[in-house]
């Protein structure tokens, strides 16, 4: 077992600092984390209450090569975790696409990536968690101890039941490189059929598949990327410089386009350009890109630019100059049953002027559903991600239409961005009865905002 910083003494200091700041917040005041970065895209009500101090809870504590596990602080980023595990030939079972997503954030807010068709969601590889609850104590929750209800109810609670301070997670072996094949499809039904076949067999055209995701550029131009671990020789591509990863998918011709990346660069292939959203800042313009420092070509920088724009309302003022209302932000991820995915994509392409669209298939790893995000075990879903804005009109109109359509197709919507559900709709979709029991037990004084208040009312 290899122990890395912070050590046990630093961990105790970090946890005590967290507890001390929790105790210092007056009863009745909202309790939330003090974070320099965020991957949420919903507004929050302003508060003068200091956030919880998590400065001692950001590291990798232990990487155990023998058991293929890691003991990790709740505020540790996946960037730091991957940096600690890859030298041992290991990686988390699911590594969300953006470097600054934290372990605790991916579990309490859900995460997904191209290994999710075989490994489910990040919380399914958690073996145990230490969680700061609304009672002001840190408890250890496992699948079968006295806090098992909190363990199973924590995913999708978004800090409304508490915050993870430590997680013990499973790891899996990796090789030095990942070999990719980008397969073009000219219709959405064929694309979805291929997704189902890959998920079921974990093979495509005779080659094993360890990762799969896809991009839809238009109704007649879509790509499925299947990838596998490999130690084969070859010069890997580099999309951290002038080349843009998502553009490398596009090709004509019937044969797949092949590529090779280091495992490190594969895991962060989407972060350099925030999928494709960096184009909004001119970062994909070759002239601008040459002048844009590579250390600033990352999702955390683009997110700060978005936050600055929201604060200064620069984009809204530009629209007003043209005589237009503010554009509506449509930044969402939804899970659609595979059998209904082509139907959803057809509707979306007819209704919402946003492209490209990201696709990522997933199946729950285990045989149980999770209380606050009740996907069906054994069912294949496709995460559909779309992140842009549309011409303004009635506030929230496009987002509301998406919510309705997702519901009609028996899908689910992630809660990291704006939501517009009524309380009754929300409770029916996100385990309201189970949540009420958990809230009463683990946060009886309401120190953390209610999940509905956080997701819909901007608490």
pLDDT tens, residue by residue, 280-314: 999 999 999 999 999 999 999 999 999 898 888 98
| pLDDT band, residue 149 (cuts 50/70/90) | very high
Per-chain mean pLDDT for the chain: 93
Q: What confidence score (pLDDT) does residue 150 get?
A: 97
Confidence of residue 226 (pLDDT cuts 50, 70, 90): very high
Residue with tokens 């804005």: 389
- The neighbour count for residue 70, using CB atoms within 10 Å, is 27
CATH number listed for the domain at residues 2-174+440-455: 3.30.465.10
Residue 194: what pLDDT?
Answer: 98
Question: Is the CB of residue 179 less than 8 Å from the CB of residue 258?
Answer: yes
Q: In the chain, what is the straight-line distance between the N-terminal and C-terminal CA atoms, in Å?
A: 42
| pLDDT surpasses 70 at 2 | no
**Average pLDDT, stretch 266-293?**
96
Taking the C-alpha atoms of residue 315 and residue 326, their distance in angstroms, rounded to an integer, is 8
- Number of residues assigned to the chain: 459
As given in the structure block, the two tokens for residue 221 are 């131009």
Measured in whole angstroms, the distance separating CA 363 from the mean position of its chain's CA atoms is: 15
Check pLDDT > 80 for residue 47.
no
Per the rule left: phi > 0, alpha: psi between -120 and 50, beta: everything else, 206 is left
What is the pLDDT at residue 48? Answer: 63
| Whether the Cβ atoms of residue 265 and residue 236 lie closer than 8 Å to each other | yes
User: What does the buried/exposed string (b/e) look like for 422-444 if buried means 16 or more CB atoms within 10 Å of the residue's CB?
Assistant: eeebbbebbbbebbeebbebbbe
Model confidence at 39: pLDDT above 70? no
**CATH 3.30.70 correct for 177-269:** yes
Share of the chain above pLDDT 70, in %: 94
Q: How far is CA 45 from CA 32, 313, 399, in A?
A: 12, 17, 20
Q: Which two tokens stand for residue 132?
A: 């700061």
Which of 47-51, 221-225, 303-307, 329-333 is predicted least confidently?
47-51
Backbone angles phi, psi at 431, to 5 degrees: 60, 45
Evaluate if residue 89 carries a pLDDT over 70. Answer: yes
CA distances, 403 to each of 95, 345, 389, 395, 398 (Å): 27, 14, 16, 14, 9
- The domain defined by 313-420 folds into Alpha-Beta Plaits (3.30.70)
Confidence class for position 3, pLDDT limits 50, 70, 90: very low
C-alpha closest to that of 372 among 150, 130, 178, 169:
150
How would residue 429 be classed by pLDDT, with cut points 50, 70 and 90? very high
Question: Average pLDDT in the 360-366 region?
Answer: 95
B/e letters for 401-410, b = 16+ CB within 10 Å, e = fewer, are bbbebbbebe
Confidence of residue 31 (pLDDT cuts 50, 70, 90): confident
User: Is it the case that residue 104 has pLDDT exceeding 90?
Assistant: yes
Instruction: Give the span between the Cα atoms of 267 and 177, in whole angstroms.
Output: 10
| CATH 3.30.70.2520 intervals, the chain | 313-420
The pLDDT of 217-246, averaged and rounded, is 96
* Residue-level pLDDT at 246: 98
- Give the separation between CA 213 and CA 117, rounded to whole angstroms: 9
Which of 46-60, 317-331, 344-358 has the least mean pLDDT?
46-60
Residue 179 in tokens: 């070999």
**Tokens 């919507």 -> residue:** 413
């Amino acid at each position: 077992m290899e122990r890395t910083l912070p050590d046990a003494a630093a961990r105790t200091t970090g946890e005590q600092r967290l507890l001390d700041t929790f105790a210092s917040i007056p009863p009745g005041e909202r309790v939330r984390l003090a974070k320099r970065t965020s991957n949420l895209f919903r507004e929050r009500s302003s508060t003068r209450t200091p956030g919880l101090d998590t400065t001692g809870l950001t590291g990798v504590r232990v990487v155990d090569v023998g058991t293929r596990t890691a003991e990790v602080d709740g505020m540790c980023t996946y960037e730091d975790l991957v940096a600690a595990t890859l030298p041992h030939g290991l990686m988390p079972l699911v590594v969300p696409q953006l470097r600054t997503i934290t372990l605790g954030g991916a579990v309490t807010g859900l995460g997904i990536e191209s290994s999710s068709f075989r490994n489910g969601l990040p919380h399914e590889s958690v073996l145990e968690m230490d969680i700061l609850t609304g009672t002001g104590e840190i408890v250890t929750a496992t699948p079968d101890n006295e806090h098992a209800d909190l363990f199973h109810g924590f995913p999708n609670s978004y800090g409304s039941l508490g915050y993870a301070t430590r997680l013990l997670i499973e790891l899996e072996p990796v090789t030095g490189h990942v070999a990719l094949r980008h397969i073009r499809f000219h219709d959405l039904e064929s694309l979805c059929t291929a997704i189902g076949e890959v998920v079921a067999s974990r093979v495509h055209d005779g080659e094993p598949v360890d990762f799969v995701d896809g991009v839809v550029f238009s109704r007649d131009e879509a790509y499925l990327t299947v990838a596998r671990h490999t130690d084969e020789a070859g010069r890997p591509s580099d999309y951290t410089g002038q080349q843009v990863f998502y553009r490398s998918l596009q090709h004509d011709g019937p044969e797949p386009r092949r590529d090779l990346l280091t495992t490190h660069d594969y895991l962060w292939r989407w972060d350099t350009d925030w999928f494709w959203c960096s184009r909004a800042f001119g970062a994909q313009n070759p002239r601008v890109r040459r002048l844009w420092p590579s250390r600033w070509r990352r999702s955390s920088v683009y997110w700060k630019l978005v936050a600055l724009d929201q604060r200064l309302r620069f984009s809204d003022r530009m629209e007003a100059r043209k005589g237009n209302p503010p554009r509506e932000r449509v930044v969402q991820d939804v899970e659609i049953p595979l059998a209904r995915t082509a139907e959803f994509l057809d509707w979306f392409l007819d209704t919402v002027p946003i492209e490209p669209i990201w696709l990522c298939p997933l199946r729950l790893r285990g045989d149980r559903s999770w209380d606050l995000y009740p996907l069906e075990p054994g069912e294949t879903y496709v995460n559909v991600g779309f992140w842009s804005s549309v011409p303004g009109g009635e506030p929230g109109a496009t987002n509301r239409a998406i919510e309705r359509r997702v519901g009609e197709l028996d899908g689910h919507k992630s809660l990291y961005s704006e939501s517009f559900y009524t309380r009754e709709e929300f409770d029916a979709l996100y385990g309201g009865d189970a949540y009420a029991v958990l809230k009463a037990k683990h946060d009886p004084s309401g120190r953390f905002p209610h999940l509905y208040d956080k997701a819909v009312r901007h608490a």
